[in-house]
Amino acid sequence: MKKAVAATGEGVAVLAPMIWSLRNVVTSGLAASLAEAGARVELLLPSDNGWSDYPHKQGVAGAHRLLTLAPRHTARGGTLLSNVAGSAFKHRFRLHRQRMAFDESQQGEHKGQSLRFGFVELGGSLCRFGPLERALSWANERMHRWQYDLSPIRRQLEQLQPRLVLSTVCVAPTEWDYLRVARSMGIPTLAAVLSFDNLTSRNKISVSDYWVVWNQRMRETLLKLYPQVPGAHVHITGTPQFDFHRRPEFFWSEAETHRRVGLPDRARYLLYAANVSRWTPTEPELITALAKRLRETADLKDVWLVVRLHPLDEPARWLGLASRASQVLLCSPWISGRDADGWSWVGPDDQRLLVNSLRYSIACINMCSTTALDAAVLDRPVIGIAFASVIKSKETEVYREAYRSHHYRPLVESGGLRLARDWGELFALIRRAIKCPEEDRLARRLMIDQECGLVDGRAAERITKVILGLLKR
């Protein structure tokens, strides 16, 4: 296979709209494996400033700007059509409850949107039946093609001449125009599902020719939601996201981890994985209250809180937290920092920071975060907070609905993730994690088997094999 690919010099255009794309394609070694087999890997990134100085680009032939198109026509009602089409898709497959809970919680801040929200949900409910939902989706696609001129993307792909286009974030609209153009040019497309919630928590996505998914459950969900995808075109590979958790070269010692995070030697700490302000606007208040309660509790007063910020969150909302709450450390998700465009050139140390800050923690606490799976893979207790610290906050219902969602419910039902619905339950689970961290070990293993698929550090290798097979074909 290596000779067959090398003989043609076939190119793979990798759509990389988010930082996690670099993680899964470059840091994981996937690009290097493709290059070793003779394929030419071209990255399309939101920012190419700094690529020449990026030290971790093994296997990448070149980096190019991922084009974002401006509309050439203003379509009255285009946004409304898109929203109703998305709502119809969610109603058709009964995936709308979590989103409705979130949207309703926002009405107090945006009262002018309540009528529009109600109309969208009504329209989605009425159009949820198969033929109507498909007709709405078709109309939305036609509207998009009328609004946007896709020729710049066509010219870019003609210059790169890829034999395959790889989607790394299948829910990112910035990728969809590339997939549209690639299919119109006869270039096969392969989509890698980035996160375990992507198929069921988002609106309808642009369908690729081939897919790589985490596990059998995800494969079945994909084929149910998008029956036009042939079953033979969906490959179960696991995800490179968890490869780092199994590879010794990504491990630090406990002392090195404490030094990198900024903790005192031998300090006990809880890792709190923060969400984004849009979903959890009162999280800083929750952390302030939690730190105060820990400090006032005799057997937990020495426990630190390490707050790992979400990569997509606005750091400004956390300013001043350390001064309001003692023994709290804010941990940036990326050692690499951000450039002027908000892009971060992440590398191996960024993954080491995540892996090891979880490895040595007492437990991982979060509100509906994928880090619940990261922690479980590393065999750390996982606590999901299902309440807001602000009294009578509508967020409480949003959180509890999220844990009942299609993608998160199996984690709760497995027992690998424990829910705290109030302060009493939260502190009981913290003490449980300290006293018996191994108590839910079997449940965590079950959760990983069901949700993550095979976690052996070799998912990137399996995806490489799929890509080389498609190139050879």
- What average pLDDT does this structure show over 332-339? 79
The token pair at 19 is: 């930082």
How confident is the model at residue 405, as a pLDDT?
86
Report the chain's mean pLDDT, rounded to a whole number. 89
Q: Is the pTM of this model over 0.75?
A: yes
Query: What are φ and ψ of residue 247, in 5° steps?
Result: -105, 120
Pairing of strands 328-331, 304-308: parallel
Pairing of strands 364-366, 269-273: parallel
Could you tell me what percent of the chain has a pLDDT over 70? 93
The CATH number of the domain covering residues in 2-69+149-243+457-472: 3.40.50.2000
Q: Is 254 helix (H, G, I), strand (E, B) or coil?
A: helix
Does 79 or 76 have the greater pLDDT score? 79
The string of pLDDT tens digits covering residues 455-469 is: 999 999 999 999 999
pLDDT at 1 over 50: no
How confident is the model at residue 325, as a pLDDT?
76
pLDDT at 7 over 50: no
How confident is the model at residue 3, as a pLDDT?
44
Query: CA-CA-CA-CA torsion for 72, 74, 77, 82, nearest 10 degrees?
Result: 20
- What average pLDDT does this structure show over 34-46? 96
DSSP alpha helix (H) spans, 47-202: 78-92, 97-105, 114-126, 130-147, 151-160, 173-184, 198-201
Fold of 248-451: Rossmann fold (3.40.50)
How confident is the model at residue 131, as a pLDDT?
87
265: exposed, middle or buried (C-beta count within 10 Å: 0-12, 13-18, 19+)?
A: exposed
- For CATH 3.40.50.2000, the residue range(s) in the chain are 2-69+149-243+457-472, 248-451
